[in-house]
Amino acid sequence: VIEKCLCVVCLDDPSGMEVGDTSRALLMLHGGGHEKMGANRWYDKPMQFIVGEDGVCGTVCEHSPFEGIVLVACTEYLMKFMTGSPSKMGRATSVSELPTPARLLWKTTPHIQGLLKASAERLQKLVRNLDMDVHKFEVYGKEFIKKQKMSPDAYIQVALQLAFYRCNGRLVSTYESASIRRFHEGRVDNIRSATSEALAFVKAMTDEKASLSDSEKMKRLWYAINAQTNYTITAITGLGIDNHLLGLREIAQELKMERPEIFTDETYVASNQFILSTSQVPTTVEMFCCYGPVVPNGYGCCYNPQSDHLLFSVTSFHGSTETCSAVFIKALDEGLVEMRDLLLKMSVLPTTSVQ
């Protein structure tokens, strides 16, 4: 029955947690552990619709079959239908009559009970380890960035590089998902945001701040934005490097060839350890998405640029001494404000453009 169903609806009891964006995100992602709603999930299903008695609701997506943007499109459609056409709810002639819900009977053994207990303990460890922080940056939003003739996504990616450099004194391999749905069976490729141009800019805002003029900082910002924008275009038009290299690696394995040397090179291995894993998931209604880091010492950062504010969901692991979500968000806030201040300073000077 469960295998054949299209989705799962999880009806949650009140969580007992203080309701806020971060607690909502945690309840969606892991249910608060087995003592709360963690056992009221079925993570193998592509979509779970969660409705809590205390008003906390959302959806959980198992990533294998589709991208987050598909889930957002589905959710927005439902939300607009509910708010725009409440009189049509459940009355459309195209809706078929559903069978009466039936309780599923389970046969368990002491062995299965032992496995369930072990799973609950593993879940609890994951819950305790996750450091989630959902943050609304309210100083400005994407409209301000657009007025500077800059791509909001590229701008935010450069700001993420600045935040990471502030926290760690270096840049690292960064993943940003690039949709290639325009191609048959296309999913995503990778926009590698840690460019040399981004490094030059973040150094101008940190190590070299006192010695560089505002015009030089501005020039480097434009170079970083342009490099990010160009790489984005390259990736979404099928000319990125990651999918092609992955394809070659898998073909070599299928043909039982000796693994080509490039795939064992330390640079290739390091370049695929995405310590900063990011994704823009924009929405037309107020909502946000979140996910965990992809490596033990990394960050997951999903962001949603709105007109007058920016939403960030930042995750890391408490078990890592190298990361802290609150520290990263503080650095991100400071960088976004400094970037705005630089833009405002330069707007009163004669306009210059960088190609």
How much is the pLDDT for 307?
96
pLDDT of the residue at 354: 46
Task: Tell me what pLDDT residue 95 has.
Answer: 65
**C-alpha distances in angstroms, 272 versus 265, 280, 310?**
11, 20, 28
CB 183 within 8 Å of CB 238: yes
The confidence score (pLDDT) of residue 18 equals: 85
CA neighbor of 224 nearest in space, from 189, 193, 256, 258: 193
For residue 63, give every residue at least 6 positions away whose Cβ sits within 8 Å of its Cβ, in sequence order, or none. none
Q: Are strands 130-137 and 310-317 parallel, antiparallel or unpaired?
A: antiparallel
What gap in Å lies between CA 243 and CA 249, rounded to an integer?
10
| Locus of tokens 């009891």 | 13
Grouping H, G, I as helix, E, B as strand and the rest as coil, residue 136 is strand
Q: What is the pLDDT at residue 351?
A: 47
Closest CA to 193 of 169, 218, 157: 157
Query: What pLDDT does residue 355 have?
Result: 46
Segment holding 124, helix H or strand E: helix 110-129
Tens-digit pLDDT string for the chain (355 aa): 888 888 899 999 998 888 899 999 999 999 999 889 999 999 889 899 999 998 899 999 888 888 888 888 888 888 888 787 666 555 556 566 777 888 999 999 999 999 999 999 999 999 999 999 999 999 999 999 999 999 999 999 999 999 999 999 999 999 999 999 899 989 999 999 999 999 999 999 999 999 999 999 999 999 999 999 999 999 999 999 999 999 999 999 999 999 899 999 999 999 999 999 999 999 988 889 999 999 999 999 999 999 999 999 999 999 999 999 999 999 999 999 999 999 999 986 544 444 4
Query: What span, in angstroms and rounded, lies between the C-alpha atoms of 34 and 36?
Result: 5
The pair phi, psi for residue 131, each rounded to 5°, is -110, 95
- Tell me which residue of 344, 294, 348 sits closest to 316, measured CA to CA: 294
Alpha-carbon distance values, 11 to 2, 40, 59, 97, 305 (Å): 16, 8, 12, 21, 30
CB 269 within 8 A of CB 60: no
Q: Which of 30, 34, 63, 309 is catalytic?
A: 63
How far are the Cα atoms of 42, 71, 79, 226, 313 from residue 46, in angstroms, in the given order?
9, 10, 19, 36, 21
- pLDDT, position 243: 94
Amino acid at the residue 45: K
Q: Are 310 and 304 in contact (CB under 8 A)?
A: yes
Residues 6+ apart with CB under 8 A from 188: 67, 177, 178, 179, 180
> By C-alpha distance, which of 243, 263, 241 is closest to 252?
263
Neighbours of 8 (CB within 10 A): 18
Nearest alpha carbon to residue 198 among 189, 186, 206: 206
How far is the C-alpha of 283 from the C-alpha of 287, rounded, in Å? 7
Question: What do you get for the CA distance between the two ends of the chain, in Å?
Answer: 59
Tokens of 197: 């141009």
Q: Domains in the chain and their CATH numbers? A: 132-348 (3.30.559.10)
User: Is 34 assigned a catalytic role?
Assistant: no
- pTM of model > 0.85: yes
Q: Contact 203/166 with Cβ under 8 angstroms? A: no
Specify the DSSP class assigned to residue 301: E
- Look at residue 97 and give its three-state secondary structure: coil
